[in-house]
Amino acid sequence: MFIKFAQGRAKAVAHKRFVVVEEDLSVIRVYKKGKESQSKSMKERRVIALKEVVDICSGHKTELFQRQGKPGRDSLAFSVCYFDQQDERTLDLEAATTEVRDLWVSCLKEILHVSKKKAY
């Protein structure tokens, strides 16, 4: 589980999100937990095709994190930068620990590297 930052009116809004890379390594799925009355339900919030991902950044590198990232939490943050219908977007996440952040960043970078080799 990660904390996802979203653009709010006056400040970034943090939401708990579950992030999954599909077994075939084709997409990243982002889920949010349903209401307490639907405790076992998960609602899909976003699907990011890995072929659309252009970069994985560690730390508070994106515009949203630059403005709204919490001081001292840079070592927990990472962003998935991708294109969605010609618009550059980011999925800005904060892990529970630096080790979890580093594991996700290194795995996602390796997946991107391998998938780009296959494309050529």
Count of domains in the chain?
1
Cα–Cα separations (whole angstroms), residue 55 to 9, 10, 11, 32, 88: 26, 27, 25, 23, 11
Domain, as residue range, for 41? 2-119
For 68-94, what is each residue's pLDDT tens digit?
Answer: 777 888 999 999 999 988 889 999 999
pLDDT at 22: 93
CATH number at residue 65: 2.30.29.30
Query: Contact, 42 vs 52, CB < 8 A?
Result: no
Q: Does residue 119 register a pLDDT over 60?
A: yes
pLDDT at 53: 95
Query: Contact, 95 vs 76, CB < 8 A?
Result: yes
Q: Does residue 42 register a pLDDT over 60?
A: yes
